[in-house]
Amino acid sequence: MRFAFTEEQLDLRDAVRDFLEKECPPRVVREAWTNDTGRSGLWGQLGELGVLGVLAPEAAGGFGGTFLDLVLLLEESGRVALPEPLVEHAAVALPDLADPAAAAAGDITAAVGLPSTPFVPYADQADVVVLGHAVERGSLPLERHDSVDGSRRLFAVARGLFPMTADDAFDRGALGTAAQLVGLGQHLLDVTVEYARHRQQFGAPIGSFQAVKHKLADVRLALEFARPVLYRAAYSVAGADDDRATHVSMAKAYASDAAHLAARHALQVHGAIGYSYEHDLHLWLKRVWALAPAWGDAAWHRARVGRAIL
């Protein structure tokens, strides 16, 4: 069998990529670190583009699509480090909300509790919080906690309350986060290659040095291995494959490892400037460090694959 995305899926990805590159440059991501919401202000436009409602039925004003339609869009959101609760809203919560039409249009925002932690990203901005079931945000006490990513606002909804999600919702969250990690890794590779092409040392571009070439090649290989595993998992989730949980865990493990490698080598190649707050690199590095452990880190997902095999 030959698997490939349809022309319509690729066209939608390209339209979303063009929109995000124009409307969510590094300046917007940086501003999200210090504004009141931690967000980009693009939520309504994402609804108009159909990004929020990919999994919503057409009767509710959605796209009526599957995770195969959504995975490419989530990858693009990772590429620009979009500061929005897109995975939690569009991938996890929307299929189970009582009002999918409002969610698809961006009229409401849903936040989702992260499994095995008491934290809910962007809970203060949400109309609905999903903690195993949907509840109105106004009825929950919120306590803010620091995150390595300043735009990813984390809130404990109540002391001692540990959010839980259904298995299918968990898999959608882990897979959506894996897609964003692949996009983040690709951006880190792209900007590092460009930097190595122009940064000179000893009278030559540092990209001409074998040690730098090998680091960038390793990142390229890691991403090239992670991407088909990610798409295979999206295919499994879209088709309700009996082994979808295993495929999702493989995708999250591969994506987390690839993004971590991209972050480490990007920082090494950039050198001292990569540590600077004034340089944009840290915005992507810290998003990787925030998302890699979310919805289960690579070790947890490899153990889940091991249990399925054995």
Q: Give pLDDT tens digits for 29-75.
A: 999 999 999 999 999 999 999 999 999 999 888 889 999 999 999 99
Which of 24-38, 85-99, 238-252 has the weakest average pLDDT? Answer: 85-99
The angle at the Cα of 24, spanning 264 to 114, to the nearest 5 degrees, equals: 60
CB 195 within 8 Å of CB 284: no
pLDDT at 138 (0 to 100): 62
250 pLDDT higher than 90: yes
Percent of the chain with pLDDT over 70: 94
pLDDT of residue 158: 64
How many whole angstroms separate alpha carbon 142 and alpha carbon 161? 11
Q: What is the pLDDT of residues 177-192, one digit of tens each?
A: 999 999 999 999 999 9
Give the three-class secondary structure for 82. coil
The domains found in the chain, sorted by start residue, are 7-156 (1.10.540.10), 167-309 (1.20.140.10)
Q: Is the pLDDT of residue 207 over 90?
A: no
Quick one: average pLDDT of 190-211?
A: 87
CA distance linking residue 185 with residue 15, whole number of Å: 21
Kindly indicate the confidence band of residue 160, based on its pLDDT and cuts at 50, 70 and 90. very low
Residue 84 pLDDT greater than 60, yes or no: yes
Residue 163 above 90 pLDDT? no
Average pLDDT, the chain: 91
The arrangement of strands across the sheet holding 134-136 comes to 110-112, 128-130, 134-136
CA distance 151 to 33: 4
Rounded mean pLDDT of 16-31? 97
pLDDT beyond 90 at 193: yes
